[in-house]
Amino acid sequence: MKLYLKQGWRLTVKHLYIVILLFLYELIWGFFLYRIVDHIVVPLLRRYPGSLPSADAAQIFLTEAQFQLLKTDLIRPYIWLFAGLLAARMLVTPLLNAGLLHSLRHAADEEGTHFLRGIRAAWKPVALLYLIETALALSPAGWLLPRALDALLSSGSAAELAQRTLPWAAGWLAWAAVLHLLFLAMQFGAVSRTGILKGLGNGIRRLLPLVGISLLLWLIGASLSLTFAAASMLWAGLIALILQQSYHLVRTIMKVWTVASQLDVWKSKQT
């Protein structure tokens, strides 16, 4: 495991300019998403009846909000807006993934990085696999979300709601995580030119080590997140703002490190 982490880190350092590019992509995406949500939510919250409203006033606010959402076209432009943003992200993300995966795969064997070459060479299979993975990961939503809503409306307490929904949520999360690792293995096969099916077969054979390295790096990332959050609360003001913004860069480094380490696991003992 230590060897995979060291090799993954070596590849991550070699791709620092791609890390910066991905960081800027996430930063710009987050900024525009924040501004859009802020533009939508703040005017609605201004209609809330004071900081300590009576029960009747709060109920009137909720009833009016329900009427506006369900009986008018108020939300329709926002649905189209978020659908457009989601479509744009689903178009751009596979391109970046193709460039990163191709470069990680071939930088281990050759000198330099190959990000733009990877986009040109592998964007089609990577984009197709990305769309299929997304569809399969979201497929349980049609069955789970109505039951979650029913549990929310019928549960008498937060504990009862958690007891009814958490097992299903954990199962959905596990399903999405296993799907991600298997489709990542297929993408490794696509950028390696060994073939998607061979990549999947090797991913299945190496599934347990892939899960292990992913969990280890997830724990490292979670520890860093808690550390940054605690430091931000201890040092309020400008230092907290700097820490919050720098954490996004650290999170991007962790993502690339994770993928690079997973690639090294996938390549090991490849048949």
What is the total residue count of the chain? 271
**Domain count of the fold of the chain:** 1
Running DSSP on this structure, what letter comes out for residue 110?
S
Q: Specify if 45 maps to a domain.
A: no
CB atoms within 10 A of CB 214: 19
The residues near 231 (Cβ < 8 Å, ≥ 6 apart) are 240, 243
Q: Specify if 147 maps to a domain.
A: yes
Q: Specify if 43 maps to a domain.
A: no
Query: How many CA within 13 A on the CB side of residue 213?
Result: 26
Going by pLDDT thresholds of 50, 70 and 90, the confidence category of residue 232 is confident
Comparison of pLDDT for 102 and 38, the residue scoring more: 102
What is the Cα–Cα distance from 254 to 26, expressed in whole angstroms? 14
Q: Specify if 39 maps to a domain.
A: no
The residue to which tokens 């733009």 are assigned: 116
Q: Specify if 35 maps to a domain.
A: no
Q: Specify if 163 maps to a domain.
A: yes
Going by pLDDT thresholds of 50, 70 and 90, the confidence category of residue 215 is very high
Q: 14-28, 75-89, 217-231: which has the minimum mean pLDDT?
A: 75-89
CB atoms within 10 A of CB 213: 22
pLDDT given at position 55 = 65
Rounded to an integer, the average pLDDT of 142-159 is 78
Q: Specify if 232 maps to a domain.
A: yes
Q: Specify if 240 maps to a domain.
A: yes
- Domain range enclosing 92: 2-26+60-267
Residue 226 has pLDDT above 60, yes or no: yes
